[in-house]
Structure 1
Amino acid sequence: METGRESVRTRAFAKINLGLEILGKREDGYHLLRSGMQTISLADELLLTKTEEEGVHLLCDRPSLPTDERNLAVRAALAVFRHCALKGGIRIELRKQIPEEAGLGGGSADAAAVLRALRILYALPLSDAELRALALPLGADVPFLVTGGTALAEGIGEELSPLPALPPCELVVVKPPFGSSTKEVYAALSLSAMAPWEQPDVTLLRNALRGQNLTLLGASLQNALERPAMELKPALIDYKRFLAGSGALGASMSGSGAALYAVFGAEERDKALACIAAGQQQFPEAAFFLCRPVSTEEVSASTV
């Protein structure tokens, strides 16, 4: 089953939510959701190398992150080694670009990238569906990030169906100098207090993508977690107002935050760069990124 290769390089692409609807809560505490998901060009880089020493050894350039089994990349590698009864070990060198506590799926993206990379490094006969099955216990976003692209996620995130690709566009992503706790945001969520317009319209999103209509897409962006996140971190309101007033086609928070993003047309790169320049003046401690959509094919081709 093993190949002559000793190492592979791969990229772990971040995600944004093209709308996030909360439908209810299961008895086990997990929330039922429906969300458009999109991989974007903001990415971590990973190098995986076989070792004779048993176990998974992670080296990370961000000291704040754990390098043991608390890290999803380590847990993903251990899951593959157990499932496929692999011998030896693996060293993972991780260079982070995706910010933490941002709602951009950074840790989940790393886990998905490890799953894809190990499949290639060891020539494992695992289908995408089998990788997604290994991914689900790691986190709700990991199954989507195995293949990425544009998809509708339902259930707790494990029910995936393809959506038409997001058309070419410029995406401005901003991460405030503070994070957002997913657990705290969901705890603050009150479905009974939610107004109808605070839940996204999936039909509108589908129609926008089918028609490759970015204007309609911008109008359809809505995230049911924005209100509780902004109640916990009122400064998020200033970021949302800034993006909404930047001339973008639409703006939204991603996941449970704290990152937000704005959508500009493919021909509006100058406007997107102007948004970033103005944002860096107004919010000097925040991190701004100019991104683009990433397709399933590009995710697949990122492992070499």
Structure 2
Amino acid sequence: MQTIVKAPAKINLTLDVVRKRDDGFHDVEMVMTTIDLADRIHLKTLETDQIIIDVTKGYVPSDEKNLAYQAAHLLKERLGIKKGVSIFIDKQIPVSAGLAGGSSDAAAVLRGLNDIWELGLTLDELAEIGLQIGSDVPFCVYGGTAIARGRGEKLEFISAPPPCWVILAKPPIGVSTKEVYQRIKVDEVDHPQTALMVKAIESNNFEQVCSNLSNVMEDVTFNMHPAVKKIKDRMKQFGSEGTVMSGSGPTVFSLTQNDSKAERLYNGLKGFVEQVYTVRLLGQRHK
């Protein structure tokens, strides 16, 4: 048995850090949605009890450090499955970009193996397993659009945002999420208006969605990596209707419903940074 599963990236329309917890982690509140920038996960069952990972990008781990490997291993361990799987990851989502590429790959493996191994697990059960891999994995299991709270695992699903183009640009740097969290001063940041973003989405008001884009991690990441701020400034120069950094960065994205503006943004960024993408918003949950 074999199958191909799509693993879409996510972006943060808002990202708020609410407080630091006693366990050292932070409570967050953020609005996340999926976009049509996706890895393709090819799964093929093996009669031998092993997990084989093959990835198109050489700098992505092909062993137990890969979240897709961890997803397959956890599923096998949880259900006592003795057969194996070959996992080929056609990597399209940039790595370490604030787009949950690794988490989405893990979620796609859970959904795909549930199908070809005929396990009969619900998305809720797969999300519960995925949480052991990372706090973004449950959202990626479901897909769609949601308010995420706690460490990101407590999900409240809402309507999809208005359809639009998403133009993303990632500079050739990596950002340490742990270091960004360590530097955030929760009491001093300008917190996003999550409720206003949700209201804008539910009322299908694209202008209000754009005006409420917000991420408390931006200033910290901008100070650590000025190149990220330069990308945001350039997007504004080219007439972006709404621009914000996704996750802890370094990817910055703009939203527009105008075809020619999307093309202008893409062309204006392409000579400025190598990794630029123009995709559509998805926002719908997986079946």
TM range (shorter): over 0.9
> Once the two structures are superposed, what CA deviation does each residue of 1:22-63 show, in whole Å capped at 9, x if it has no partner?
001112211100000101000001110011221211011111
Against the structure 1 CA distance between its residues 222 and 295, is the aligned structure 2 distance closer, same or farther, given a 3 Å change threshold? closer
In the TM superposition, residue 101 of structure 1 has moved relative to its aligned partner by 1.4
> Once the two structures are superposed, what CA deviation does each residue of 1:112-134 show, in whole Å capped at 9, x if it has no partner?
00010011111112111111100
SS at 2:187 equivalent: helix
Instruction: Please list every run of 5 or more consecutive structure 2 residues that lacks an aligned counterpart in the other structure.
Output: none
Partner Cα distance (2:141, 2:66) in 1? 17
Question: 1:122-133 maps to which residues of 2 (within 5 A)?
Answer: 122-133=117-128
Give the aligned partner of residue 288 of structure 1: 276
> Once the two structures are superposed, what CA deviation does each residue of 1:60-114 show, in whole Å capped at 9, x if it has no partner?
1111111111110000011111112112100001110111111000100100000
Give the aligned partner of residue 52 of structure 2: 57
Partner Cα distance (2:233, 2:191) in 1? 19
In the TM superposition, residue 148 of structure 1 has moved relative to its aligned partner by 0.7
Q: 1:264 aligns with which of 256, 269, 286?
A: 256
SS at 2:113 equivalent: helix
Partner Cα distance (1:294, 1:80) in 2? 27
In the alignment, is residue 275 of structure 1 matched against residue 265 of structure 2?
yes
SS at 1:24 equivalent: strand
SS at 1:261 equivalent: strand
SS at 1:190 equivalent: coil
Give the aligned partner of residue 216 of structure 2: 224
In the alignment, is residue 47 of structure 1 matched against residue 42 of structure 2?
yes
Give the aligned partner of residue 181 of structure 2: 186
Give the aligned partner of residue 103 of structure 2: 108
Give the aligned partner of residue 240 of structure 2: 248
Against the structure 1 CA distance between its residues 250 and 295, is the aligned structure 2 distance closer, same or farther, given a 3 Å change threshold? closer
Check whether the contact 1:214–1:249 (CA below 8 A) recurs between aligned residues: no
In the alignment, is residue 34 of structure 1 matched against residue 29 of structure 2?
yes
Range that drifts further, 181-190 or 37-46: 181-190
Partner Cα distance (2:199, 2:188) in 1? 28
In the TM superposition, residue 296 of structure 1 has moved relative to its aligned partner by 3.2
Partner Cα distance (1:124, 1:193) in 2? 48
In the TM superposition, residue 193 of structure 1 has moved relative to its aligned partner by 2.9
Question: 1:161-180 maps to which residues of 2 (within 5 A)?
Answer: 161-180=156-175
Check whether the contact 1:175–1:287 (CA below 8 A) recurs between aligned residues: yes
Q: 1:13 aligns with which of 4, 8, 26?
A: 8
Partner Cα distance (2:197, 2:283) in 1? 17
Instruction: Please list every run of 5 or more consecutive structure 1 residues that lacks an aligned counterpart in the other structure.
Output: 1-5
> Once the two structures are superposed, what CA deviation does each residue of 1:215-247 show, in whole Å capped at 9, x if it has no partner?
000110000100111111011111111112322
Range that drifts further, 242-251 or 97-106: 242-251
Q: How does the TM-score come out when normalised to structure 2?
A: 0.97
In the alignment, is residue 136 of structure 1 matched against residue 131 of structure 2?
yes
In the alignment, is residue 86 of structure 1 matched against residue 81 of structure 2?
yes
Give the aligned partner of residue 207 of structure 1: 199
Partner Cα distance (2:134, 2:241) in 1? 31
SS at 1:110 equivalent: helix
Partner Cα distance (1:171, 1:245) in 2? 16
| Runs of 4 or more above 3 Å deviation | none
Check whether the contact 1:35–1:153 (CA below 8 A) recurs between aligned residues: yes
Partner Cα distance (1:253, 1:114) in 2? 27
The amino acid across from 1:221 in the alignment is: L
Check whether the contact 1:151–1:160 (CA below 8 A) recurs between aligned residues: yes
Check whether the contact 2:160–2:284 (CA below 8 A) recurs between aligned residues: no
Check whether the contact 2:67–2:105 (CA below 8 A) recurs between aligned residues: yes
The amino acid across from 1:252 in the alignment is: V
Q: How does the TM-score come out when normalised to structure 1?
A: 0.92
SS at 1:296 equivalent: coil
